[in-house]
Each structure stands twice: as structure tokens, then as C-alpha cells.
Amino acid sequence: MNMKRVAFWILLGSMATSAQENFKVYYEEAENGYKIYADNGEYSPVSLEINFEIDNLTSSIGATKIIEVPELTTAHYIADLTVIDRKKAIGLGYKVRYNHGNHLQTTYDKEHEYYLPYKKGSKYTVTQGYNGTISHQGEYALDFRMPIGTAIYAARSGRVVLVEKSFDTTCTNQDCAKFNNYILIYHTDGTFAEYTHIRKGGAIVTPGDDVKVGQHIGYSGNVGWSTGPHLHFIVFLQRFTNRETVPVKFLIGTGEESIQLEEGEEYMRGYE
């Protein structure tokens, strides 16, 4: 075939924490044109948005499409590009962006009961709750005041997707968010939980680890955008340009009751 190839533009969609390093989109020549594939080496599904810029080719999925690529897959089929007229030159290009999670997902398990993220017999105060006035405006986020080095436990079972534990910088303005240490865990209903401001070296889990609810995963700190030692906790659905945080309920006391936590209240975990 007499082919004219156009450069490929790559636009990476990124989370507030880190872009996906183990994901790629590529093409292979086929009998009647090309096939587009993706490799996802991440520990959660990744959403791919692909926007074709083609000449003398037709796309089996149209010009633009968002596709969920399963975790830990190679050669995941995306689309066929078929030559229209073999006597003419071919122009092939595409732009992509991608990020963890299913960006088309709108439902999740709203009735799931989360564990308080600290050990049995402990009690801590929620210093900033949902839609808090300091840094949680329009966000379902919780801050638990706790001393640096407090053991953190998984609030729900899932798979560790990302860990950042290298930073040791703290300041009280938003620019320091890039220094946040965190543990990111993917749940079976498609939501993620992030445990933020852990101390330097404070994660004891690594990406790919399957963790059980109530399992020790790290130690709290005061790193990144922080006004004092605490654990910042959110549950969210991922979008390309933001996170859609969602409200959740926690088991309190002896574990017989689950509620949405309130700012300024102290909560005891009396269950395993």
C-alpha cells in the first residue's frame, strides 16, 4: 500500500497523584488496514479515551470513544481501521488520554459499611468532615486527627494500585499537594479509597497487594498539604479531570451501627 503516516499525539490523562506508567496504546498492520490495541499493566481497570484523526480510513468505533481496559491485560482490542481506497494515501493519527478506573461508571455499593481506619480500642476525632470549610468544599472527604506514626488500617478490602511514600515536605498551602504521600486502593465496586499524608516511608503495602478490611497498611504523618498531623480519607469514582468523591458509612462503637461521620465528633473502634 502507498501509505502516508501522520505523527501520533499522546495526551496523558492523570490523577491528582500520578499518571499511569504501565499503559500504552499501539497499532498493528492488518490485511485491510490497522488494528488498535492497548496494554494495561496497572492493578485496576483503566479508562482510555481515543480520538482518531484519519484520512482514507474508517474506524469501527467512530471518531472518539471511551473504553475500559481491564487490569493486567495485553493486546486488548480497541478498534479496526479499514482502508477506503487502496490507490490513495493513508493518514493515521490519534490522540489519547487515560486514567485509572471506569470513567463511565455512575453506580457503586452505597450500602457498604466501612471500618474506621485505625486499630481496635482506638478513638480519634474528625477534625474536618464532608464539605468542610478549610479544604473539603464540595468534597466528601474526612480528616482524622492522629499523631504521626499512628497505625492505619484498611477501611475496606481491595487491591493496592499506587503508593507514594518518598516525600518529607510539609506546608499549609495547596502547592504542597504535590508532596502528598498516600496509599490508593481499588475496591470491587469500582470505587477507590485514598489514605493521604502518611509519613515518609510509612506504607507497608505495595502496588498489587490484595488487602483485607482491617489490615494494617501504613502509618499516619503530616506530609504534603497539611496543617497538622492527620489522616485524610476519601472514597471516589475516577474521572479524567477530577475525582467524584462519594459519601460512605462507617461502623462505629462495637460495630453494630454504621453512620456518616460528623465533623468535630470522636469515634471509637471497638471491633476487630
What are the residue numbers of the active site?
Answer: 230
Q: What are phi and psi of 183, to 5 degrees?
A: -125, 125
Q: Please provide the DSSP assignment of 116-146 as one string.
A: PSS-TT-EEEEEE-TT-SSS-TT--EEEEE-
Among candidate residues 91, 32, 96, 39, the one with its CA nearest the CA of residue 64: 96
Please state whether 220 falls in left (phi above 0), alpha (psi between -120 and 50) or beta: beta
Report how far Cα 53 is from the mean position of its chain's Cα atoms.
Answer: 29
Q: What is the C-alpha separation between 89 and 8, in angstroms, rounded? A: 17
Among candidate residues 139, 146, 140, 104, the one with its CA nearest the CA of residue 122: 146
Q: What is the C-alpha separation between 219 and 151, in angstroms, rounded? A: 5
Q: What is the C-alpha separation between 152 and 33, in angstroms, rounded? A: 53
- Compute how many other C-beta atoms are within 10 angstroms of the C-beta atom of residue 63: 11
Which is it for the CA torsion 228, 194, 260, 104, positive or negative?
positive
